[in-house]
A and B are shown apart, each in its own frame.
Chain A
Amino acid sequence: DGGITQSPKYLFRKEGQNVTLSCEQNLNHDAMYWYRQDPGQGLRLIYYSQIVNDFQKGDIAEGYSVSREKKESFPLTVTSAQKNPTAFYLCASSISTGKLAFFGQGTRLTVV
């Protein structure tokens, strides 16, 4: 089945550790995105990529890093520099930016 997959669904890490969240899509989409969602809030854009080997910072990129070495994959690393990393992280993809987006089921990261 075509879709966008995030793994794992739940992730626990100790403070000070880097952690990488996985996002894979088999929809042949050029654009991919990472959003962060805090309880009761809307989605905020962390990073986006319009095409392979290219990505841009979103509104809240500090403390995060990404790579886009393959069209299908857009992993997000939450570094120890992110002051408040506990959140729900959502990955999305679309044919191109601004087009209809498909979202993964999210990864809930808890840093203790």
Chain B
Amino acid sequence: DAKTTQPNSMESNEEEPVHLPCNHSTISGTDYIHWYRQLPSQGPEYVIHGLTSNVNNRMASLAIAEDRKSSTLILHRATLRDAAVYYCILTNNNAGNMLTFGGGTRLMVKP
């Protein structure tokens, strides 16, 4: 299974943009890049996903490198409620493909 590498932790100031990086150098052509986040004592929730093109939704933006070996989750204005662990995951449509979670990046937001 393709693996992802993320920094253990990052810090941000409130109302500033946050760029969360993810490396996935062994990504295959059919792998989608998914981002989930987990608030304290809760289950993970879906944030965004993409294949090749950059994606935007109400929560965040996803910037995917041209060679697809890395991606960046962008929170345009961090709030205290964005403090969470962010997981970058690769998945594809093959039967039996699982969501494999690494350690993720713990985002701390300072007021």
Contacts and interface: CB of A to CB of B under 8 A. Distances in A.
A98 B97 contact: yes
B98 A42 contact: no
Contacts, number: 59
The main secondary structure of chain B at its interface with chain A is: loop
Nearest to A101: B99
In this complex, the interface size class of chain B, counting residues with CB under 8 Å from chain A, is: 20 to 34
B45 interface: yes
- Pick the 8 closest A-B CB pairs, nearest first: A103-B43, A98-B97, A43-B101, A42-B101, A98-B91, A42-B103, A103-B44, A90-B43
Interface of A: 33, 35, 41-45, 48, 50, 56, 58, 88, 90, 92, 96-106, 108
15 contacts: A35-B101, A42-B87, A43-B44, A45-B98, A90-B43, A90-B44, A92-B44, A92-B99, A97-B96, A97-B98, A98-B94, A100-B46, A101-B36, A104-B43, A105-B43
